[in-house]
């Protein structure tokens, strides 16, 4: 199992890079359901806990050099659009709780984060590199994804798709 996680981590590290969008579930299909343990000890269920809300699902790890920038941009957007129901779920890929929690605390992001220790969620979403960000509309359908660092322009484009008031 440790070898599998090491191979997965090395593969994701090699793919860690700047924005693109050609892996994982296709736009317009239902986002895969999952259940995961939150850093706070609570269980998060997607999509049940996020019904009728637009959601950003962000896959990350503390060793990914682009993840921190993407996560702070997502945090700003989440705070700006929280009144519109925007939710964020950060999925940590194959790291322990202490490592993930320390990174979240250092960044100061306020949205929910969960652990994916066996990388099942990561596989279900076809994650090929980190960060990878999935945008899900109020109906639970994937409206877009970005592989690599999420800059302000890409974030604005994706938010326009899931938040009607930004159009």
> Do 91 and 56 contact (CB within 8 A), yes or no?
no
Q: Are strands 112-116 and 132-136 parallel, antiparallel or unpaired?
A: unpaired
CB 39 within 8 A of CB 114: yes
119 — alpha (psi -120 to 50), left (phi > 0) or beta? left
Q: Could you give the residue ranges of the DSSP H alpha helices within the chain?
A: 2-15, 67-81, 97-107, 120-124, 152-162
pLDDT of residue 33: 98
User: Mean pLDDT across the chain, nearest whole number?
Assistant: 89
CA dist., res. 125 & res. 43, Å (int): 19
- Cβ atoms within 10 Å of 160's Cβ, excluding its own: 15
Q: pLDDT (tens digit, 9 = 90+) per residue, 61-100?
A: 999 999 999 999 999 999 999 999 999 999 999 999 999 9
Q: Is the pLDDT of residue 10 over 50?
A: no
Distance of alpha carbon 130 from alpha carbon 137, whole angstroms: 22
Which fold would CATH assign to domain 2-166?
Glutaredoxin (3.40.30)
pTM: 0.86
């Amino acid at each position: 199992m440790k070898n599998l996680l090491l191979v997965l981590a090395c593969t994701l590290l090699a793919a860690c890079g700047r924005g693109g969008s050609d892996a994982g579930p296709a736009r317009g299909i239902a986002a895969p359901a999952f259940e995961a343990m939150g850093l706070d000890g609570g269980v998060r269920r997607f999509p049940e806990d996020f019904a009728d809300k637009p959601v950003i699902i962000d896959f990350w790890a503390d060793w990914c050099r682009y993840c921190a920038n993407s996560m702070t941009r997502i945090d700003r957007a989440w705070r700006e659009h929280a009144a519109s129901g925007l939710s964020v779920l950060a999925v940590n890929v194959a790291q322990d709780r202490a490592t993930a929690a320390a990174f979240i605390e250092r960044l100061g992001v306020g949205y929910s984060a969960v652990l994916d220790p066996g990388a099942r969620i990561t596989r279900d979403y076809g994650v090929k590199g980190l960060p990878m960000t999935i945008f899900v509309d109020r109906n639970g359908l994937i409206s877009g994804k970005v592989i690599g660092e999420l800059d302000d322009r890409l974030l604005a484009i994706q938010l326009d798709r899931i938040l009607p008031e930004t159009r």
